[in-house]
């Protein structure tokens, strides 16, 4: 089969590889019909994520048709499913509490060592996201082996277009959980750093949860315009001093809840960011966290900070003092996708949430490498690339 | 004497026995029953090639060692408390004299805490220990990974693999 494989920094290729097979009773094989490139795939593309190996198949936002099932899969051949990016067993203590991304058993035993060393405990597996997360082949391919297919993939009704439901795999639940973690109360003012897909879905979700105003922060005009479409007020940080603007816009109080959906590759020419970049390039620190620092400083006293953005390692000069003195609450985590899928599928079917606005580019799987380059080089106009296997 | 309540195996003393604990979301009787059937241990103990059960108390272990060799011994069950504890010791003439015990303790709604302790005399002493570590056949690493596999098998009915297909599975296992 054909698949998009990582071969190094800024080097992804279309490889011909042997097909996946059923290995465990709960597995299923999915023929991929739509698969997206995620902003977090750019962290891999830029070489920020350790434990990648040449030839690793990328992709964790995908859906398709069930073509083969293991003895204990509950799926049926021919069903259309969206696959969560988190690989979770459904039977451990954490899955029982619906903390799917904290699953004890999604990672192969040998791959758990790195996460255990870095994070204290191993986390769930992830598709196509390095060997630290299990070394699972990803969904930017014609076929994928999907473990725990009896508890992960959600069956979508016939006749519903791929593009309406594809983002149930990651970014829609991630944006929703970001807003949920911000514990929004009616009348709140919510600030969202980063108007990528997660940030834009967080904007929509925050309004659905009762926020009175949402302020969206980015430097890409096109992305800010999308946020505005959903009712957000916008701040372009290249033109505006963000802290000063937020203070004025909130009458000197600060936003009640702040959502950092930027993460470890914050852009922008700020003092702390430059220091972070030097440290990253000299391996003294791994993560750039400008947006996160700004969120903590701007947040109102006793407010909430929600962090859906991906951080992988360590960060320096984090304003722990401001965080403590103001009595802030921080909630974060990889998304418990399986927990949110059914409710969000219903919201899509009822027309409460729109996801298709996001897709700016549709390409054949074989055009994946150009898709990566375009997304990387022009994040203003390229908001989402969806690859369609079998259309070349 | 240690001045705290921590388990001995967490001591900074290098000669402390190797012990690992894992919580498994299954009843302890079920976990004990699976473990007590020694022939099944090879399912999740990666470096165990096979275990032949000789009688109620004795079994013959064939275990992978560094550089493609194997080591063998007979193990004799010294303590057996159904649902709670199994302890064994290697018999005379073992290639690597060793002993082990596994305990099963109720953990309420979390299931069962399984604690495995292994004590062994590595071949050629400390040098053997270092070599074994290089080949990742060092018992501390093995015990940790084996317990994770045991947990996966008991909780999910299978052992997780990141491989795409059988060919890749064999490559990663090698």
Contact B157 A107 (CB under 8 A): no
Letter string b/e over residues A20-47, b meaning 16 or more CB atoms within 10 A of that residue's CB: bbbbbebbbbbbbbbbbbbbbbbbbbee
DSSP single-letter state for residue A265: B
**Cα angle, residue B145 at apex, residues B143 and B146 outer, rounded to 5°:** 65
Same domain, A95 and A194: no
| Residue A105 to residue B162, Cβ atoms within 8 A | no
Nearest C-alpha of chain A: how many angstroms from B137?
A: 12
Same domain, yes or no, for A195 and A284? yes
- pLDDT confidence of residue B119: 81
- Whether A200 and A218 have beta carbons less than 8 Å apart is answered as no
Distances (CA, A) of B24 to A185, A327, B104, B154: 38, 37, 10, 8
What's the confidence (pLDDT) of residue B39? 95
Q: What integer is the mean pLDDT of A47-70?
A: 95
**DSSP 8-state code for residue A141:** B
Chain A hits for B149, CB-CB cut-off 8 Å, are 109
- Could you tell me how many residues make up chain B? 174
Contacts of A134 in chain B (CB under 8 A): 160, 162
Residues B160, A107: C-beta atoms closer than 8 Å:
yes
Share of chain A above pLDDT 70, in %: 93
User: What is the pLDDT confidence band of residue A318, given thresholds at 50, 70 and 90?
Assistant: confident
B111 touches chain A (CB under 8 A): yes
**Tokens matching residue B162:** 């990141």
A349 and A248 within one domain: no
Separation of alpha carbons A85 and A297, rounded Å: 32
**Angstrom distance (rounded) from CA A154 to CA A341:** 7
State whether residue A157 is helix, strand or coil.
coil
Of A11-25, A247-261, A283-297, B15-29, which gets the smallest average pLDDT?
A: A283-297
- Radius of gyration in angstroms for the set of CA atoms belonging to chain B, rounded to a whole number: 16
CA distances (Å), A385 to each of A44, A82, B42, in order?
Answer: 16, 17, 46
Cβ contact (<8 Å) for A21 and B165? yes
**Using a CB-CB distance cutoff of 8 angstroms, which residues of chain B are in contact with residue A90?**
156
Q: Give yes or no: residues A377 and A340 share one domain.
A: yes
- Domain endpoint, select from A314, A332, A350: A332
Do residue B159 and residue A24 have CB atoms under 8 angstroms apart?
yes
Count of structural domains within chain A:
2
What is the count of residue pairs from A and B with beta carbons less than 8 Å apart? Answer: 87
Is there a single domain that holds both residue A267 and residue A279?
Answer: yes
Distance CA B75, CA A48 (A): 48
In this structure, are A302 and A360 located in the same domain?
Answer: no
Chain B residues lying within 8 Å of A145, measured CB to CB: 164-165
* B positions 25-44 inside 8 Å of A (CB): 25
Same domain assignment for residues A158 and A112: yes
pLDDT mean across residues, chain B: 87
Q: Which of A321-330, A361-370, B61-70 has the lowest mean pLDDT?
A: B61-70
Which residues of chain A neighbour B110 with C-beta distances below 8 Å? 93
Chain A residues inside the 8 Å CB shell of B144: 113
Whether B160 contacts A134, CB under 8 Å: yes
DSSP-based helix, strand, coil % in chain B, nearest 5: 35, 30, 35
Would you state the pLDDT for residue A274? 56
Share of chain A above pLDDT 90, in %: 84
Specify the 3-state DSSP secondary structure of B30. helix
What integer best gives the mean pLDDT of chain A?
93
Q: Round to whole Å and give the CA distance between A155 and A204.
A: 24
Predicted structure pTM score: 0.90
Q: Token pair 């290249």 is at which residue?
A: A238
- Report the pLDDT value the prediction gives residue A280, as an integer from 0 to 100: 59
Report the alpha-carbon distance of residue B171 to residue A39 in Å, rounded: 31
Say if residue A255 is exposed, middle or buried (CB neighbours under 10 Å; 0-12, 13-18, 19+).
Answer: buried
Contacts of A104 in chain B (CB under 8 A): 151, 155
CATH number of the domain residue A192 falls in? 3.40.50.720
Backbone angles phi, psi at A260, to 5 degrees: -95, 100
User: Looking at per-residue confidence, does B124 or A335 come out higher?
Assistant: A335
* Contact with chain A for residue B167, Cβ under 8 A: yes
Least confident of A244-258, A367-381, B126-140: B126-140
A69–chain B nearest CA distance, Å: 14
Helices (runs of H) and strands (runs of E) counted in chain A: 13, 18
Q: What is the pLDDT of residue A305?
A: 97
Q: Looking at residues A204-220, what average pLDDT do you find? A: 96
Return the pLDDT at B137: 61
Q: What pLDDT score was predicted for residue A55?
A: 97
| pLDDT tier for residue B7 given thresholds of 50, 70 and 90 | confident
Q: What is the pLDDT of residue A270?
A: 55
Q: How many Cβ atoms sit within 10 Å of the Cβ of residue B22?
A: 19
Are A131 and B162 a contacting pair at CB < 8 A? yes
A195 and A254 co-located in one domain: yes
Are residues A123 and A70 both part of a single domain? yes
pLDDT for the residue numbered B136: 58
Residue A142 shares a structural domain with residue A178: no
Domain ranges of chain B: 18-173
Closest CA to A80 of A68, A66, A70: A66
Among the partner residues A20, A113, A147, nearest to B160 by beta-carbon distance: A147
- Tell me which residue in A26, A93, A109 faces B148 most closely, judged by beta carbons: A109
What pLDDT is attached to residue A115? 85
Domain shared by A361 and A225, yes or no: no
Q: What are phi and psi of A304, to 5 degrees?
A: -120, 140
Per-residue pLDDT tens digits for A77-86: 999 999 999 9
Instruction: Please state, in angstroms and as integers, the Cα–Cα distance from residue A44 to each residue in A37, A58, A381, following that order.
Output: 11, 9, 21
Distance from CA of B106 to the nearest CA of A (A): 14
Mean pLDDT of the B138-160 span: 91
What is the model's pLDDT at position B133? 60
Q: Which domain holds residue A116?
A: 2-170+335-388
Residue numbers in A near B172 (CB within 8 A):
135
CATH number (3.30.360.10, 3.30.530.20, 3.40.50.620, 1.10.150.20) of B18-173 reads 3.30.530.20
Q: Between B151, B164, B172, which is nearest A104 by CB?
A: B151
Q: With an 8 Å Cβ cutoff, are B158 and A111 in contact?
A: no
**CA geometry: angle at A222 spanning A392 and A189, to 5°?**
125
**Which letter does DSSP use for residue A20 in this model?**
P
CATH code where residue A130 lies: 3.90.180.10
A194 and A294 in contact (C-beta within 8 Å)? no
């Amino acid at each position: 089969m054909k698949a998009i494989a990582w071969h190094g920094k800024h080097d992804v290729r279309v490889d011909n590889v042997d097909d996946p097979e059923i290995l465990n009773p709960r597995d299923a094989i999915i023929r991929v019909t739509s698969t997206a490139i995620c902003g977090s795939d750019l962290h891999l593309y830029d070489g920020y994520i350790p434990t990648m190996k040449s030839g690793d198949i990328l992709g964790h936002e995908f859906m398709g048709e069930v073509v083969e099932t293991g003895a204990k899969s509950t799926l049926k051949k021919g069903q259309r499913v969206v696959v969560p990016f988190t690989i979770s067993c459904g039977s451990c203590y954490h899955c029982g509490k619906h903390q799917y991304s904290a699953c004890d058993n999604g990672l192969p035993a040998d791959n758990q060592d790195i996460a255990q060393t870095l994070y204290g405990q191993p986390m769930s597996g992830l598709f196509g996201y390095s060997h630290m997360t299990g070394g699972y082949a990803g969904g930017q391919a014609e076929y994928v082996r999907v473990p725990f297919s009896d508890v992960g993939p959600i069956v979508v009704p016939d006749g519903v277009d791929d593009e309406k439901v594809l983002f149930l795999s990651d970014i829609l639940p991630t944006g929703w959980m970001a807003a949920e973690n911000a514990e929004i109360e009616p009348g709140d003012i919510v600030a969202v750093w980063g108007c990528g897909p997660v940030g834009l879905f967080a904007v929509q979700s925050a309004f659905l949860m009762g926020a009175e105003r949402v302020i969206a922060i980015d430097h890409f005009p096109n992305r800010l315009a999308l946020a505005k479409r959903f009712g957000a007020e916008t701040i372009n940080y290249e033109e505006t001093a963000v802290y000063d603007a937020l203070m004025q816009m909130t009458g000197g109080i600060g936003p009640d809840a702040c959502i950092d959906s930027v993460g470890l590759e914050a852009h922008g020419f700020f003092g702390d960011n430059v220091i972070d970049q030097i440290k990253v390039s000299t391996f003294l620190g791994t993560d750039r966290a400008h947006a996160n620092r700004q969120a903590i400083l701007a947040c109102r006293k006793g407010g909430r900070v929600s962090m859906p953005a991906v951080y992988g390692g360590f960060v320096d000069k984090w304003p722990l003092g401001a965080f403590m003195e103001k009595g802030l609450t921080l909630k974060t985590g990889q998304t418990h996708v399986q927990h949110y899928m059914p409710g969000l599928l219903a919201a899509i079917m009822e027309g409460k949430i729109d996801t298709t606005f996001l897709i700016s580019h549709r390409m054949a799987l074989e055009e994946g490498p150009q898709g990566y380059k375009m997304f990387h080089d022009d994040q203003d106009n390229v908001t989402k690339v969806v690859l369609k296997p079998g259309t070349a | 004497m240690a001045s705290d309540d921590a388990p001995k195996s967490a001591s900074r003393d290098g000669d402390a026995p190797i012990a690992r604990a894992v919580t498994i979301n299954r009843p302890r009787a079920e976990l004990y029953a699976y473990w007590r059937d020694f022939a099944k241990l090879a399912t999740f103990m990666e470096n165990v090639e096979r275990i032949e059960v000789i009688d109620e108390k004795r079994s013959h272990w064939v275990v992978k060692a560094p550089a493609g060799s194997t080591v063998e011994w007979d193990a004799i069950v010294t303590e057996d408390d159904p649902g709670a504890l199994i302890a064994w010791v290697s018999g005379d003439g073992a290639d690597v004299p060793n002993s082990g015990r596994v305990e099963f303790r109720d953990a309420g709604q979390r299931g069962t805490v399984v604690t495995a302790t292994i004590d062994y005399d590595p071949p050629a002493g400390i040098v053997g220990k270092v070599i074994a570590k290089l080949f990742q056949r060092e018992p501390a690493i093995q015990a940790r990974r084996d317990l994770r596999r045991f947990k996966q098998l008991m909780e999910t009915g299978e052992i997780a693999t990141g491989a795409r297909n059988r060919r890749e599975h064999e490559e990663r296992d090698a």
